Chain A
Amino acid sequence: MLKYHFDWSIVTSGKYFDWLVSGLKITLELSSVSIVLAFLLGLLIAVMRMSHIKPIRFIASAYLEFFRNTPLLVQIFFWYFGSYKILPTAVNDWLNSTNFEFAAAVIALTIYTSAFIAEDIRSGILSIPKEQMEAARSAGFSFLRSMQYIILPQAVRITVPPLVNQFLNLAKNSSLAMTIGVMELTYQARQVESYTFKGFEAFTAATLVYLVISVSITWAVHVYDRRVLNPQKAG
């Protein structure tokens, strides 16, 4: 016989419900800030990879290989436990007075994910016919302006499906931030479990919330794609 007594009420109302909600808020903040930053940084790295100046290309490639090929958890630990040690004491005091674990998680998630996003966008750029760049350059646009107005808008449009994957990965990876004490959703679910021993309920709730977040991201990008990026496809 099953000895476990389900008590779903702990995750639908009361104190523990509030904990989960506060965790959800942090997860949403962490994910959305990191998604925006990772996308922008990914664009930058992708364009640097296409530069005709060799050192710039090299820096971008090195960045990409380094952050793509090391575990995210190690990177999180590095930024949280390692990076500040080489900073002056005054900066350290200031960091300790702020929400440093949140900042370290944003930095790690942003940098890690930007490497993958850069690769996706680069393959998008490579699939744009080179005549588009020629058309832009012959109109008088500089290399960067051509990228900005003509190449990247097209590259991002065809990169939407892999980008959605990266956004989803980032949202799910944000759960690793609990390891450095960011009180996000997984952290709070763990807390609820510790206080109530209702692990099944707590983590089922967390699972469902992650599912809703992921589905929402997919849906939001899809709507944006159809309404703004590719309105000609919508009809």
Chain B
Amino acid sequence: MIEFNGVHKWFKKLHVLNDINLHVKPGEVVVVCGPSGSGKSTLIRTINQLEPINEGTLLVDGMNLSDKKTDINKLRAEIGFVFQQFNLYPHLSVLSNITLAPIKIRNTPKAQAQQQAMALLERVGLAEKRDAYPTQLSGGQQQRVAIARALAMKPRIMLFDEPTSALDPEMIGEVLDVMQKLAKSGMTMVVVTHEMGFAREVAHRVVFMDQGQILEVAPPEQFFLHPQHERAQQFLKQLLSPMH
């Protein structure tokens, strides 16, 4: 579904992605973790080409991202992206945030798009907020709307870039809950997160990155109990007991 083969990327002189090789299978949930600045956000952003790659090949849903003939807009429509800062459209109501892309890109009739949007809002538990504007919602609510907005395009892949990092602790659960249900439904997901509880319960594999490299890829039970790489061990130690 997603295939990184020898992918490199530089920001000026900074080697942000260094020889990335990773294959994500359909229906698989992959959690990417690592210290800040390790390149994990850049990695996930290359998948829908918010960041272009400089070297190597990246195949997404059978399309080669380096190929000039690839219709990047068409590909992006098949990939849902959830941002750390939600990035809802502030000038549109919750309902219009969700229906905009289906109506304008998929040419879904308005009534049908609204019906689907309401079903998605039910699913994320925010049906009563349909007419609210984003600024009137809490962070957790905004992020759930953002997930519904991404799902409205019926994507084949969902990408989450630190979806709970900007949230107050008491709102993290409601967002993870939605993501967990989504994972159970068989969605292909790549999730950059520090929520190790989520990784342990939901992920099929955990990818550990540091300094632009993938240092370890393992099923969660193995990664959390017996991390192989020294830096992964350090990272987990710090994450699990930050006071020491």
Interface residues of A (CB under 8 A from B): 129, 131-132, 134-142, 145, 149-150, 153-154, 157, 232
Main secondary structure of the interface of A (DSSP, over half): helix
What's the Cα separation between A167 and B18 when bound, in Å? 54
Give the residues in chain A near B150, CB-CB below 8 Å: 139
Q: Which residue of A lies closest to B89 (CB)?
A: A150
What's the Cα separation between A139 and B91 when bound, in Å? 17
What's the Cα separation between A150 and B104 when bound, in Å? 12
CB pair A137–B91 under 8 Å, yes or no, is: no
**B204 part of interface (Cβ distance < 8 Å):** no
CB pair B76–A135 under 8 Å, yes or no, is: no
9 contacts between A and B (CB under 8 A): A129-B87, A136-B89, A138-B76, A138-B81, A139-B76, A141-B73, A149-B100, A153-B91, A232-B135
Give the residues in chain A near B42, CB-CB below 8 Å: none
A158 → chain B closest CB, angstroms: 10
A235 → chain B closest CB, angstroms: 10
Give the residues in chain A near B13, CB-CB below 8 Å: none
What's the Cα separation between A145 and B107 when bound, in Å? 14
CB pair B105–A139 under 8 Å, yes or no, is: yes
Excluding A131-B85, A140-B77, 9 further A-B contacts by CB distance (< 8 Å) are: A131-B83, A134-B83, A137-B50, A139-B77, A139-B149, A140-B73, A140-B101, A142-B73, A149-B104
Q: Which residue of B lies closest to A143 (CB)?
A: B73
Q: Which residue of B lies closest to A229 (CB)?
A: B91
**B26 part of interface (Cβ distance < 8 Å):** no
What's the Cα separation between A141 and B102 when bound, in Å? 11
What's the Cα separation between A149 and B48 when bound, in Å? 20
Q: B87 contacts which of A135, A141, A149, A153 (Cβ < 8 Å)?
A: A135
CB pair A140–B153 under 8 Å, yes or no, is: yes
CB pair A141–B104 under 8 Å, yes or no, is: yes
Q: Which residue of B lies closest to A131 (CB)?
A: B87
What's the Cα separation between A139 and B79 when bound, in Å? 8
B83 → chain A closest CB, angstroms: 7
Give the residues in chain B near A141, CB-CB below 8 Å: 73, 101, 104-105
Give the residues in chain A near B48, CB-CB below 8 Å: 138
Give the residues in chain A near B85, CB-CB below 8 Å: 131
CB pair B50–A134 under 8 Å, yes or no, is: yes
Q: B83 contacts which of A135, A140, A157 (Cβ < 8 Å)?
A: A135
Give the residues in chain A near B133, CB-CB below 8 Å: 232
**B90 part of interface (Cβ distance < 8 Å):** yes
B71 → chain A closest CB, angstroms: 10
Most central of A132, A139, A149 by chain B CB within 10 Å: A139
A-contact bits for B91-106, CB 8 A (1 contact / 0 none): 1000000001100110
Give the residues in chain A near B101, CB-CB below 8 Å: 139-141
Interface residues of B in 51-78 (CB under 8 A from A): 73-74, 76-78
Q: Which residue of A lies closest to B93 (CB)?
A: A232
A121 → chain B closest CB, angstroms: 15
What's the Cα separation between A139 and B103 when bound, in Å? 12
Q: Which residue of B lies closest to A156 (CB)?
A: B91
Give the residues in chain B near A139, CB-CB below 8 Å: 76-77, 81, 100-101, 105, 149-150, 153
Give the residues in chain B near A131, CB-CB below 8 Å: 83, 85, 87
